[in-house]
Amino acid sequence: MTLSPIQILVIIAAVALGTMITRFLPFFLFPDNKKRPTFVIYLGKVLPYAVIGLLVVYCLREISFSSPAGWLPEGIAILCIAILHFWRENVLLSIGVGTAVYMLLVQYVF
């Protein structure tokens, strides 16, 4: 299916408008000179951990324990991430090295 130039412009405008609304709306709803509701403060503290937990479950949802090749690369990568994170306390380093270890294991070892 080929889109006309008008359809392409409408899609780009809709995406840009949606992005702008989601980026700017919090600043209008919760300006700096007003106290934020306690519920919003609570969500700001809790949601990052919930999202990380959801991502971990999503990434590990299709692990198969029928053979070592189905779970060992993920296990080694998770172990590398945990060790690096507790040792260096650098999120980007631990995620980057863990991803590289996983990809190397999947591509060349298993």
Q: C-alpha angle with apex 64: 62 to 65, nearest 5 degrees? A: 145
What is the distance of C-alpha 79 from the center of its chain?
19
Q: C-alpha angle with apex 47: 62 to 44, nearest 5 degrees? A: 165
SS3 39: helix
In whole angstroms, how far apart are CA 54 and each of 24, 39, 50, 77?
Answer: 26, 21, 6, 18
- What is residue 1's predicted lDDT score, i.e. its pLDDT? 84
- What is residue 61's predicted lDDT score, i.e. its pLDDT? 94
pTM of the model as a whole? 0.65
The residues spanned by each domain of the chain are 35-109
pLDDT in tens, the chain (110 residues): 899 999 999 999 999 999 999 999 999 999 989 999 999 999 999 999 999 999 999 999 999 999 988 999 999 999 999 999 999 999 999 999 999 999 999 999 98
